[in-house]
Amino acid sequence: MRIVIIAIILLFSTSGVAQSDILAKNYFEQGEYGKAINIYKKLYKQNKGRIDYLLRMVESHQQLEEFDKAEALLKERINTRRGSPQLLVELGYNATLQNKDSIANIHYKQAIDYLEQNANYAYNIGAAFSKYSLLDQAAETYEKAMIVNPERDFNPQLATIYGEQGKLQLMFEKYIDIIQNRPMYKNVAQRNFSLYVTEDSENEANKILRKTLLKKSQENPDILYNELLSWLFVQQKEFKKAFTQEKAIYKRDFEEDLGGIADVARAAIDEKDYEVAEEIFNFIIEKSLTLPEKIRGNQYLMEVLLAKATPKDYNDIEEKFVSLFEDFGYGKETYMLQIEYNHFLAFNAGKKEQAISNLKKLSKERLSSFQEARVKMELSDILVFDEKFNQALIYYSQIQKKVQNDKLAQEARFKVARTSYYKGDFEWAQVQLDVLRKSASQLIANDAMQLSLMIRDNTLEDSTQTALKKFARADLLALQNKNSEAIAVLDDILTNHKGEKIEDEALLQQAKLFEKNEQFTQAEINYNKIIELYRDDILADDAHYRLALLYEGPLQNPQKAKELYEQIIFTFKDSIYFVDARKRFRSLRGDAIE
């Protein structure tokens, strides 16, 4: 019984401390520093081990410009057995706030000198200096600690500080040294490199990293330098150069792993550098040692050839596909290649019925559940494209049952919603979208939210849903690559439903189709209308961003592009385009380092 009573007392005591902590923090954040001090004083008295309570009291006194009281608190703690040398940094900063720099420097030196007694305090002292952006002192702390005790490793902290100081050469060298001793640190280092490296090969950080790696590679050849150079060239979108580095790695790795080379090729595809991607995949096909590798290489190669093809190339592409199936067969080993082929037949070559027949036959092969789901997903997409909505919905439902816990099931559910939307069954589409908004992956959830909002917004004011049905029809026509017909339907909406909620959606969708048709001036007019008429609406940032890209690209007006990016930065801080807009703005402004 006694133990139970003690436990209850401790529970209530802990709960009371937590509530007091929250209350004190709230007072502090609200600027009621006197009240915060009173609570922190009681908390600190109850638990002298909590240095954070002491520091909150000190900071509260500093906010009230009661520097003498802050100093007294710090000195009192420093002179006890629990005195920590990091508090010397706090004492120095307290002097700095009073413009007593000479006194501050004395305390800073005392903190650093303490390392001669015990280098284990380096992290706490260095972190205290970094907290106040005292980077020179923080660097000196870590450097001295490693001299006093060579077994301690503060190189990651030093590398970060060198970067913040603008000592890029030292930063890169330090990170490279770290990776050589701790290969698993490479991803962390590359993330930090990304804070300084840009797409511009003439950017100062890019040039320094490139020269550093080339110099080290000449002095002592190592695969690490090729890997980092390849990474740098990919950032700069110089995929040919990255390919050269990856080939060097491949040769030194006894020609066993083509993964790095394939990664460069896929990055090239993402950036639409199809010529280099084609060259790389041909290399992969030539060097592949296993049948699955050769099939996968050919699949990616066909994806590249399709991406850059025009209708006059379609016969040659179809012959190439047929030739590959003569070599590798139509079994489950080539199921992904067959999906690519039938996508081409339906969406490019105008042979929907043949594609549907092929995929139905393939779905009856002895495939895994996931493979069957992928085949049926492509089949369903083609059926939607062919406006056979009910058949498509059956297959999408089968996919959801076949791979219930896979992201593919969520994708199928979204496509059920989108197909219902094309049919004009907005109520059922909304039911599916509401489920996806709560449980889907972030990308699918975002798509679901956008479609859901669009349906809801345009159903409230129009019970007949006339304009929304027209808009859904335009969306379907766009999916079918009937861009001119889709533009005409959107014209009908803009003429006959002017001023309705759907107008801004129609303007944006039509502008995107104008861009596809290379009618850039018409797209510009639409984006400007959205900015003028709907500057406070949800699509305003889309219009700003897409118009900026248009000015930066086809319309060749970088000054206007820069102005629009700047507007996104200052007006749409929560926009998904904010980060890229800031990056592009700085690039157009000519900043050397991000």
Q: What is the pLDDT of residues 250-303, one digit of tens each?
A: 998 777 789 999 999 999 999 999 999 999 999 999 999 899 999 999 999 999
Closest by CA to 239, choosing from 210, 196, 280, is 280
Apex 10 CA angle, 6 and 14, nearest 5: 175
Those residues whose C-beta lies under 8 Å from the C-beta of residue 305, and which sit 6 or more positions away, are 278, 313, 317, 320
Of 102, 56, 53, 112, the residue nearest 82 (C-alpha): 53
The two tokens of residue 44 are 């600190």
Q: Which of 291, 354, 352 is nearest to 322 (CA)?
A: 354
Model pLDDT, residue 170: 94
Cα gap 466→456, rounded to integer Å: 14
Residues above pLDDT 90, as percent of the chain: 79
**Are 494 and 510 contacting, i.e. CB atoms less than 8 angstroms apart?**
yes
> Contact at 8 Å (CB) between 571 and 558?
no
32: left (phi over 0), alpha (psi -120 to 50) or beta: beta
CA distance 270 to 239: 11
Measured between alpha carbons, how far is 164 from 184 in angstroms, rounded to an integer?
23
Mean pLDDT (whole number) for 39-65: 92
Q: In this predicted structure, what is the pLDDT of residue 591?
A: 65
pLDDT of amino acid 20: 82
178 pLDDT above the threshold of 60: yes
The answer to whether 594 and 200 have CB atoms below 8 angstroms apart is no
Average pLDDT over residues 503-527: 96
Q: Band the pLDDT of 17: cuts 50, 70, 90.
A: low
Assess contact for 398 and 376: CB atoms under 8 A. yes
pLDDT per residue as tens digits for the range 446-492: 888 889 988 988 887 667 789 999 999 999 999 999 999 999 999 99
15 has a pLDDT exceeding 60: no
CA atoms within 13 A on the CB side of 492: 15
DSSP-derived secondary structure letter, 334: G
96 in helix, strand or coil? helix
Nearest alpha-carbon partner for 340 in 294, 297, 381, 306:
306
d(CA 28, CA 24): 6
Average pLDDT over residues 47-57: 90
How far CA 77 is from CA of 51, 83, 86, 453, in Å, comes to: 9, 5, 11, 58
Backbone phi and psi for residue 364, each to the nearest 5 degrees, phi listed first: -95, 0
Give the 3-state secondary structure percentages of the chain, helix then strand then coil, rounded to 5: 80, 0, 20
- What's the chain's average pLDDT? 91
DSSP 593: -
Does position 316 have pLDDT exceeding 60, yes or no?
yes
State residue 464's pLDDT score: 76
Average pLDDT over residues 357-382: 95
Segment 429-437 shows an average pLDDT of 89
Domains and CATH numbers, the chain: 1-83 (1.25.40), 310-404 (1.25.40)
Residue 3 has pLDDT above 50, yes or no: no
| Whole-structure pTM value | 0.78
Residues in the chain: 594
pLDDT of residue 282: 96
**Per-residue pLDDT at 457:** 85
Q: Binning pLDDT at 50, 70 and 90, where does residue 440 land?
A: low
* Of 443 and 154, the one with more pLDDT: 154
Q: In which band, very low, low, confident or very high, does the pLDDT at 5 lie, cut at 50, 70 and 90?
A: very low
Q: Would you state the pLDDT for residue 446?
A: 84
**CB count, 10 Å around CB of 375?**
27
Distances in Å between the alpha carbon of 249 and those of 17, 40, 110, 212? 58, 59, 49, 18
